[in-house]
Amino acid sequence: MKKMIGYALFAAAAVAAAAPASAAELIVDVAGAQSFAAFGAAGNTVRTFNIGANSRITGLAYSVNITAFSPSFLSEAVLAFTGSDTLGDGVFLTPGIDDDNPGTASYADAANLVDLDLDFAVGADGLLRLEWFEDFNDSAISPDAIWNSGTITVTYEALDTPGAVPEPATWAMLIGGFGMVGGTLRRRRTAVRFAM
């Protein structure tokens, strides 16, 4: 079930729970994202990010500048955060939720989704899907809104992260280390044989 959040609900709060094994952030540049119609409509800007299977979205922070073209309102410009299964859990962010005017405005805030009971997990494919859409489609204009500049920071817990691949220099050190350990063990076995 999707949940609507607006900038007025946001409060920057620290996570009281123990730090996750693999906390991470994704910073998304919103410049040029456009919304044309309702959620799922053709033309809306959609971006996907692979953040790891079953990762849990735990926080959002944003600083954005948005233009709503008349007769559309700034309160109608919405950004959806879901997994690739758009019918599953997620949240909708409306930075200008109380701004029932056309024009250009900037908004900034942050939220701890765990504290607000709005945290959710992406699916097994690890894809976080962002879709910019309109809460009300003003069919006389196209697009209804454009996100001019700014960033959205998504905080998440990467639950199923693949193992890190060592760099070539690390591989060389590991192989050298295994060789030294093997040589030492061989010498010990030889010394034991002679002691018998």
Domain CATH code at residue 71: 2.60.120
Are residues 79 and 128 part of one domain?
yes
Are residues 191 and 104 part of one domain?
no
Are residues 29 and 108 part of one domain?
yes
Are residues 83 and 50 part of one domain?
yes
What is the C-alpha to C-alpha distance for residues 6 and 2, in angstroms, rounded to an integer? 13
Are residues 186 and 154 part of one domain?
no
Residuewise pLDDT in 10s, the chain (196 residues):
445 555 333 333 333 334 444 789 999 999 999 999 999 999 999 999 999 999 999 999 999 999 999 999 999 999 999 999 888 899 999 999 999 999 999 999 999 999 999 999 999 999 999 999 999 988 888 999 999 999 999 999 987 544 445 556 655 655 665 555 455 544 444 343 434 4
Q: Whole domain around residue 11: which residue ranges?
A: 2-163
- Exposed e or buried b for every residue in 160-184, given b needs 16+ CB within 10 A? eeeeeeeeeeeeeeeeeeeeeeeee
Are residues 120 and 145 part of one domain?
yes
Peptide bond into 166 cis (omega under 30): no
Report which of 113, 187, 195, 192 is spatially closest to residue 152, judged by C-alpha positions: 113
Q: How many domains does the chain have?
A: 2
N residues, the chain: 196
Are residues 125 and 46 part of one domain?
yes
Are residues 183 and 104 part of one domain?
no
Are residues 94 and 171 part of one domain?
no
Are residues 110 and 174 part of one domain?
no
Give the global pTM: 0.72
